[in-house]
């Protein structure tokens, strides 16, 4: 009842106020309101707060105003973010990070351009060459296009000394494809990318194959076994070796070693035939020589395994032979031949020698019934026996089941590249001896072609910018 009485009293006061307002003139309406109702007071309670989300939209409509349709976008707690949008225009979109950073990048580039040129003029030349020598090979070739001075670093003796101090990178692979025997394809395992160099000096009327490498240089032999060539595939430094004193028309095995720590100190090339004939080329006097004869305890004829590449460790070269199974070695310094009888693993085919950190390794296909797998063995120096140390993952080997698979080794210097092929497949894989990691190699496709190339042969070489043939 008390609430009802208060409500009636309030309604009466409002009516009285409205009557007084209607009777008074418009000019004195405001003053009369103050004078007549001094005792009227409205006790209005503040409505309870409603907790809204942090970001919300408020639409304020006022029919009496001309600009009645403005939208206000507010962010709670941030009055400076209040923005008035004209009618019909959508809210502003968030800028991409690239657009927001564009101004910062512009400012940074301007500050770089304003650097004192005197600082770079006084930059030590030896320190500059030390930095450049440690750049990746592909980066250096883009770098040398800047000016003639940087391009001339390839012929600088001081730059060559800086490159000799840098640890050897992972080997690259120089290969020949079946359909383009006169042009090579180089694979960079670090970037997993194929390069297609052109070596104009190589003869185009002959099929020339890579057979050995040392110090960044690759040794080529024509398919008729008549002429040798040495080339740096990166810089196109090329040299045709003089004619051999011994005419050999049969197949030969070839090995290559350095006379010093780098190709600048010279290199030697050895070829050996099945009948025991051999010669050694010395780049320091640019001539072939026969330093001696093969030891009498080595069984002739040599049943050389030409599918196996030569392994070089220091000044020694190792060749794989059969009948009897084993290894034949030659020391470039002492000129001594040795033979080691080493029985091969059972069910082995398409095997080849490899080298890792001074250790002699063996890689080959192990086939039993219809199952085929690629296995890795290490030669035990004390027992002269092969010990299996790794094999290809089983899930990869399942692809070979029931297929007549053939394997070709395209490089055997710490990092293997193997070509595995049959009528139904053609696979390229690499194997890192140090990390025991198997990797699939992307297909080799010519720059303007789409067809995947079949790799015929190849060799591994350590890329060197300063090696001269």
Tokens 């890579």 correspond to 210
For residue range 111-129, what is the model confidence (pLDDT) as tens digits?
Answer: 555 556 666 667 777 787 7
For residue range 139-151, what is the model confidence (pLDDT) as tens digits?
Answer: 777 777 777 777 7
Check residues 64 and 222 and name the one with the higher pLDDT: 222
Residue 73: is its pLDDT beyond 50?
no
State residue 423's pLDDT score.
84
Rounded-to-integer distance, Cα 348 and Cα 344, Å: 7
Rounded-to-integer distance, Cα 331 and Cα 329, Å: 7
State residue 40's pLDDT score.
40
Task: State mean pLDDT over 205-211.
Answer: 84
Confidence band, pLDDT 50/70/90 cuts, at residue 82: very low
Rounded-to-integer distance, Cα 173 and Cα 188, Å: 7
Confidence band, pLDDT 50/70/90 cuts, at residue 64: very low
Rounded-to-integer distance, Cα 136 and Cα 145, Å: 15
Q: Which of 117, 415, 436, 258 is nearest to 428 (CA)?
A: 415
State residue 94's pLDDT score.
58
Task: State mean pLDDT over 315-322.
Answer: 92
State residue 80's pLDDT score.
40
Task: State mean pLDDT over 221-238.
Answer: 86
State residue 245's pLDDT score.
78
Q: Of 11-25, 201-215, 261-275, give the lowest mean pLDDT range.
A: 11-25
Show Cβ contacts of residue 62 under 8 Å, excluding neighbours closer than 6 positions: 68
pLDDT cut 90: percent of the chain above it: 30
SS (HEC) of 326-356? EEEEEECCCCCEEEEECCCCCCEEEEEEEEE
For residue range 9-55, what is the model confidence (pLDDT) as tens digits?
Answer: 667 766 676 666 655 544 444 443 333 334 444 343 444 444 433 43
3 state SS of 105: helix
3 state SS of 263: helix
pLDDT cut 70: percent of the chain above it: 73
Residue 230: is its pLDDT beyond 90?
yes
DSSP for 182-233, please give it.
Answer: TSEEEEETTTTEEE----TTS-SSS-EEEEEEETTEEEEEETTS--EEEEET
Task: State mean pLDDT over 282-287.
Answer: 93
């Amino acid at each position: 009842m008390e609430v009802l009485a208060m409500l009636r009293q309030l309604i009466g006061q409002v009516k009285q106020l409205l009557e007084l307002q209607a009777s008074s003139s418009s000019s004195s309406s405001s003053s009369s309101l103050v004078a007549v109702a001094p005792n009227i007071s409205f006790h209005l309670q503040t409505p309870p707060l409603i907790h809204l989300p942090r970001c919300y939209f408020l639409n304020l409509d006022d029919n009496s105003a001309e600009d009645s349709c403005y939208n206000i976008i507010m962010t709670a707690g941030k009055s400076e973010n209040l923005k008035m949008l004209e009618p019909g225009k959508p809210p502003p979109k968030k800028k991409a990070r690239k657009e927001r950073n564009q101004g910062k990048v512009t400012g940074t580039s301007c500050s770089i351009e304003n650097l004192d040129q005197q600082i770079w003029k006084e930059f030590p030349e030896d320190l500059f060459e030390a930095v450049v020598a440690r750049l990746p090979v592909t980066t250096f070739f883009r770098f040398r296009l800047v000016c003639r001075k940087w391009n001339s670093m390839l012929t600088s003796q001081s730059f060559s000394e800086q490159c000799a101090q840098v640890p050897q990178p992972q080997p690259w692979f120089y290969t020949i494809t079946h359909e383009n025997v006169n042009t090579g394809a180089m694979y960079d395992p670090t970037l997993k990318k194929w390069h297609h160099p052109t070596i104009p000096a190589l003869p185009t009327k002959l099929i020339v194959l890579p057979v050995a490498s040392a110090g960044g240089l690759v040794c080529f032999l024509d398919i008729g076994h008549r002429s040798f060539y040495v080339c740096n595939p990166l810089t196109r430094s090329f040299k045709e070796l003089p004619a051999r004193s011994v005419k050999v028309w049969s197949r030969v095995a070839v090995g290559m070693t350095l006379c010093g720590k780098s190709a600048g100190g010279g290199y030697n090339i050895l070829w050996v035939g099945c009948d025991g004939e051999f010669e050694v080329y010395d780049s320091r006097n640019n001539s072939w020589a026969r330093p001696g004869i093969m030891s009498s305890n080595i069984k002739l004829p040599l049943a050389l395994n030409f599918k196996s590449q030569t392994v070089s460790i220091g000044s020694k070269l190792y060749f794989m032979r059969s009948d009897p199974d084993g290894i034949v070695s030659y020391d470039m310094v002492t000129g001594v031949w040795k033979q080691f009888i080493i029985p091969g693993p059972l069910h082995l085919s398409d095997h080849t020698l490899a080298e890792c950190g001074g250790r002699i390794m063996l890689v080959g296909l192990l086939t039993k019934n219809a199952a085929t797998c690629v296995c890795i063995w290490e030669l035990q120096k004390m027992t002269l026996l092969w010990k299996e140390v790794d094999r290809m993952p089983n899930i990869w080997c399942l692809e070979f089941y029931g297929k007549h698979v053939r394997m070709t080794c395209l490089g055997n210097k710490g990092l293997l590249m193997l070509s595995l092929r049959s009528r139904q497949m053609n696979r390229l894989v690499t194997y890192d001896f140090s990390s025991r990691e198997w990797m699939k190699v992307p297909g080799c496709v010519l720059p303007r072609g789409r067809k995947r190339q079949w790799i015929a042969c190849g060799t591994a070489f350590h890329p060197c910018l300063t090696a001269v043939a």
